[in-house]
Structure formats: structure tokens, C-alpha cells
Amino acid sequence: MKDFEYEAPVSLATAIEQIAAGNGSVKVLAGGTDLIDHIRTGRLTPSLVVDVKKIPELNVLEINSDGLRLGASVSCASVYGNEDICRDYSALSDSCHIIGGIQIQNRASVGGNLCNSGPAADSIPSLIALDATCVIAGPQGTREIAAEDFCTAPGKNVLESGELLVELVMPARPAKSGSHYLRFIPRNEMDIAVVGVGASVMLDETGETIQSARIGIGAAAPTPLFAKEASELLTGLPANEESFAKAAAAAQEIVTPIDDMRGTVEFRTHVTGVLTKRALHVAVERARKS
């Protein structure tokens, strides 16, 4: 690997100083499951790597009546190892369960998955479905942005040079709410999503009517998408297959997938519809049980 310096600051303020001082040739290191390979292959040539895993703010994992606070460097294994997340933010734990194998999950963070900003990144549709806000810190202070606005192009995002992602904040999940993420891959394990869909729903107290829903779609456009119309049309509809089919049709309208060895445009569009229905179906089942 090409030579670089390494720092592992224990405070956010120091990290921001070090990242800002590096003038754009700094890379933040969380679990390293994307970054280390990118450096090894020469795709990235940072002069400084700043390991952010020792910063307390990036290790927060707090769940209470305000919602969920997830530090950017918390590992996927810690996410699905948390029973409260598995129960109330199931889409996120579903995502974390399928990112790589155990060795990857023990290191890879949700923050790193988001900041790597791959179109097929498995945590992003779930973050969108769960209405996550990204908290970003930099020399100019702190700012917030919705998960669906974070990625701007394949591998690109809104982070300015000198900034880092601190945490992801998700609102509390009331009774009768549920969520699910699933993807289509040609193998059972260890593959890149052909399409991935995350859905969350809130039902009325009878469990029969949808009060609100959010659908996030991955691998079907240059960036993960928030399927706004598909989500909003569900409000007030009965929680049944017919409603899910309407949302699926609306979701298929917004995708702009690519043709590659994993699937054609036609196939990916079809799969978007199928997965939207399935994600909603499971999210509703979970909501009824909650």
C-alpha cells in the first residue's frame, strides 16, 4: 500500500482539526472495509488517514423515547446485536445482517456504508425508510441533512472537505409501526444488491389502515432514492396487497437503473416493484405485532 500517516484522535474537535488541516488529502477510517481496499488498489491515495473509532460521539448507541442515535462508526454487528434496534428499527438491523459476512459485519459501520455512498449500499434505503437525519461536523460547526439527500452521485456525497459524519438520528417508532429491508442478489450471501428496498409503515390502532409510510430504494439509480410518491399515496389506504401494488407501481416510475451483468434495466425495474410489495408486506406484519 502507498505510504500515509495515521492519527487516531480521541476527541471530535481534534479530529476536525486534523481532517481540515489535511487539505482534502485526508481520509476518514471507520471499519476500513471499503477504505483499506481502495488505498491498496490505488483508487485513493490519502496522505493522512484519520481513524475515528476512538471518538466518543461516533460510538454513541442510544435508544429512548426521542428515538435512536447511532454513532457513525458503530459496527453492523453492534447494530443487530442490539435487541431494541432489532425490534423498533428492524429495517436497519436487516441491512446490517446482510452487509458482507461476519468478519465484515464486525468491522463495517453504517456511517462508513453511507459515506462510501455506493448506489447499492445496503443500509441507505433503510436509513431513508426510517427517516434518518445525518449529523455532520466540520470547521464551520455542525449541520444536518436528511439521509435521502446525503448521496449526490456514485461514490459522492454532500460532505465538504474537512467535514465528517458524526451520527445518524432516527425518530422514535410509535406503537403499530414496523419496517423491513430486503434485496435481490443472485447468491444467498456475500453479493452486491441488484435492487434493495427498505420500507417502514405506521398503522392506525386497528392495524388495518396505513397512517404513513416511507420507502427507500437502492441500486436502481445513481444514488439511493426516497420514493416520495409511492410513500405518500399509501397514507389512509388499507394495509393490504392492493395498496402495496399501487406503491410498487409508483416506485417503478422513479427508478433509472443501469444494465450490467447483475441485471438489465427491465429486470431491475421489475424487481423494484416486487421488492417494494414484499418490504411493505413484512413491515405491516411487524407493525401489527408491535
Partner 1 sequence: MAKKRVVTTKINGRPVEFLCEPRQTLLEVLRENLDMIGTKEGCSNGNCGACTILIDGKAVDSCLVLAVEAEGMNIETIEGVASADGLHPLQQAFLEEAALQCGICTPGLIMSAKALLAQNPDPTEEEIRFALAGNLCRCTGYDKIVRAVQSAAKMGCASAAK
Ligand X SMILES: Cc1cc2nc3c(=O)[nH]c(=O)nc-3n(C[C@H](O)[C@H](O)[C@H](O)COP(=O)(O)OP(=O)(O)OC[C@H]3O[C@@H](n4cnc5c(N)ncnc54)[C@H](O)[C@@H]3O)c2cc1C
Interface residue list for ligand X (CB under 6 A): 27-35, 52, 72, 98-100, 104, 107-109, 111-113, 115-116, 121-122, 159, 164-165, 190
Name which of 90, 197, 218 is nearest 150 in CA terms.
218
Q: How far is the CB of 128 from ligand X (least distance, A)?
A: 14
| Alpha helices for the chain (secondary structure H) | 12-21, 35-40, 76-80, 83-88, 90-98, 102-105, 110-116, 124-129, 228-232, 241-254, 265-289
- DSSP bridge pairs for 143: 136
Which partner in partner 1, ligand X, none is near 1 (CB below 5 to 8 A by kind)? partner 1
Cα 269 to chain centroid, rounded: 21
Sign of CA dihedral 258, 263, 264, 270: negative
Mark residues 179-218: x for contact with partner 1 by CB under 8 A, - for none: ---------xxx----------------------------
- Toward ligand X, which CB reaches closer, 29 or 287? 29
Taking the CB of residue 12, how many other CB atoms lie within 10 A of it?
17
C-alpha cell, 40: 491498496
Which partner in partner 1, ligand X, none is near 72 (CB below 5 to 8 A by kind)? ligand X
CA–CA separation, 65 and 172 (whole Å): 6
Q: Which stretch binds partner 1 (CB under 8 A): 94-102, 127-135, 148-156, 209-217?
A: 94-102
Which partner in partner 1, ligand X, none is near 158 (CB below 5 to 8 A by kind)? none
Q: How far is the CB of 17 from partner 1 (least distance, A)?
A: 19
CA distances from 237 to 204, 220, 229, 232, 234 (A): 11, 26, 14, 10, 5
CA–CA separation, 80 and 93 (whole Å): 5
Taking the CB of residue 54, how many other CB atoms lie within 10 A of it?
13
Say whether residue 143 binds partner 1 (CB under 8 A).
no
Mark residues 42-71: x for contact with partner 1 by CB under 8 A, - for none: -------x-x-x------------------
Say whether residue 285 binds partner 1 (CB under 8 A).
no
Size of the site for partner 1 (CB under 8 A): 30
What residues from 237 to 276 belong to the interface with partner 1 (CB under 8 A)?
none
Q: How far is the CB of 178 from ligand X (least distance, A)?
A: 22
Residue type at 180 in one-letter notation: H
Rounded to the nearest 5°, which phi and psi values hold at 177?
-125, 150
Which partner in partner 1, ligand X, none is near 189 (CB below 5 to 8 A by kind)? partner 1
Say whether residue 86 binds partner 1 (CB under 8 A).
no
By CB under 8 A, name the binding residues for partner 1: 1-6, 8, 29, 31-33, 36-37, 39-41, 49, 51, 53, 77, 100-104, 106-107, 188-190
